[in-house]
Chain A
Amino acid sequence: MKILVCMGNVPDTTTKIKFDSEMKKLDTNGIQWVINPWDELALTRALEIKEQSGGKIEKVSVINIGKADAEPTIRKALAIGADDAYRVDAEPSDSYYIAAQIAEVAKKENFDIIMCGIESSDFNDAAVGSMLAEFLDYPSVSAVSSFEFNDGNVKLKRDIDGGKETIVISTPFVAIVQKGICINPRIPAMRGIMMARTKPITVSAPVETDSLIETTIFELPASKAACKMVDAEDTDKLIELLHGEAKVL
């Protein structure tokens, strides 16, 4: 059996986000790129499952839709322990486009289990996993927070309102995972870092697909208003401010 982990290349979550002067494009200057945190959890769990599978899972691959500048992030996934990687050489324009590209590779390579993070930390669309399952005509399970693989039998737990639902599923399928799927993302070991360059990254051209979304403008959240201190005794002033300025009364 083979697992494919879908992997986004996103700005480090502590990045101070800036846009170009027209507010249409992210200003990538000085940004440190990382594996999308949810995808990193998926990869960690995939590797744990492989290690515990007694050889039933032969390999864990990762896939990224991105240009060559995403390769350092892909190599980090290889350093963490993925066996090989696929990169579709294209700008990841929207969820539909990304899902279509992944589906093309997944179809060709016949993966049994596909794992995606529930969303990406940059656009938070939370759409690729479900769209990918539709493209492939595979069942998908979303919000998976526990993934057990015993002798080829898969048991998933997903969070539902007020509790958890347990699902037994047969391959192939798409698991859309969230926090709880593993304790912590795996830190690459020294040997893994040194081995990363020796593992293959298969690069392919994108298939023709339209992007369905066009970004017209980005807006930054309004900066927090300064805190106004009012004397505890001065209720008239407080009411005046709440009525006149904050307009909540």
Chain B
Amino acid sequence: MNFELTEEQLMIKQAARDFAVRELLPDVLERDAKCIYPERQIKMLAELGFFGIMVDPKYGGGGMDSISYVLALEEIAKIDAATAVIIAVHNSLTAYGIEHYGNEEQKQKFLPALASGEKIGAFLLSEPEAGSDATSQKTIAEDKGDHYLINGTKNWITSADHGGTYIVIAQTYPDKKHKGINAFIVDRNSPGITLGPHEDKMGMRSSDTHSVMFTDVKVPKENRIGEDGFGFSFAMKLLDGGRIGIAAQAIGIAGGAFDLALKYSKERKAFGTEICNHQAIAFKLADMAVKLENGRNLILKCAWLKDQGKSYSIESAMAKQYCADSAMEITTEAVQIHGGYGYVKEYHVERLMREAKVTQIYEGTSEIQKIVISRALLKD
């Protein structure tokens, strides 16, 4: 076993950290308050290669491993989780989905623009009545011979407006249930696509989230990913990897809150001494640190399994559930350590606490992760 990160991995972690501190931190509170999309920063991140981290260099990517990817995501999320989710959805779902399950023509056509960040990726699976239960897709993709006609509504779509390339999951053969579902690469500007208003969310407020309506949207047949009926299996495979990204985002949020709480506890005095000298606070810090260490190790193991080409479905469910739940606990304690100051926006921890919540919900709720884990345990 070797827990040592490579020089490249350390460099990427530091690059992400430097970028986050220099470019994201100064206006993160304003963007959160006013729901402003990080347009300038996304452009800079694209130039630095953050939108093609794992993409093969022959399609214009950085060709890095999953470990580098999760390290970068964690560092961005420590400062600005909303920017981290834009990167996560783009890399883990859209770019990875096309690179690993698309055919050569699709890769050549769509990957270079995604890897350069010229087009941001979005993943359209959730529906008003199909979130955790992704099998009950109501969006229909009707086979019209040389093209498909998509009709329906998708919900909670990250980067719905600023995204350029969608992956849309829709039902082609309702009688075949989940085996009739397909996945399509769809241009965001296709005629017939309209967006609902920007969702006014609890956290991640500067990432743009909308519902997306499809009215007779024509999609060329060659944009279907995989064999006819591969869509559900495709989405589930993708979410296995997506969970690692969200786990990294969650542990980043938690790490950001922990760093602030640790610093504050060494500065703030009560009863004649810095509050870190009170066991009530010191033990909180110890509990938080243990959870962070456990979460990071789970994530790195998943990323390592993925890089080795081994199965990581169960481990990524464990990592997602553990890191998301820990992020909620750690950020809540970070607010508690800050006392009244933690409850005001200026100190960042209340924002991180709001942002932690959604990691227990999106890309598979904590409860869904427990279903995945327990079913695997009880199989045979």
Contacts and interface: CB of A to CB of B under 8 A. Distances in A.
B50 interface: yes
B7 A194 contact: no
Interface in B39-67: 47-50, 52-53, 57, 61-64
B22 A193 contact: no
A190 interface: yes
Interface residues of B, number: 20
B15 interface: yes
A23 interface: no
B22 A190 contact: no
A194 B64 contact: yes
Given A72-B7, A75-B7, A190-B64, 18 more contacts: A72-B10, A79-B11, A184-B22, A187-B19, A188-B11, A188-B15, A189-B48, A190-B48, A190-B49, A190-B50, A190-B53, A190-B61, A190-B62, A191-B49, A191-B62, A193-B11, A194-B63, A196-B11
Contacts of A79: 11
Contacts of A72: 7, 10
Interface size band for A: 10 to 19
B8 interface: yes
A76 interface: yes
A76 B11 contact: yes
A187 B14 CA distance: 9
5 cross-chain pairs, A with B, having the tightest CB-CB distances, nearest first:
A190-B49, A190-B62, A189-B48, A189-B49, A193-B11
Nearest to B49: A190
Q: Which of the listed residues A75, A184, A188, A190 has the most CB atoms from chain B within 10 Å of its own CB?
A: A190
B20 to A, nearest CB: 10
Interface in A56-92: 72, 75-76, 79
Nearest to B60: A191
Given A193-B15, A194-B63, A194-B64, A187 B8 contact: no
Interface string B262-295: 0000000000000000000000000000000000
Interface in A184-229: 184, 187-191, 193-194, 196-197
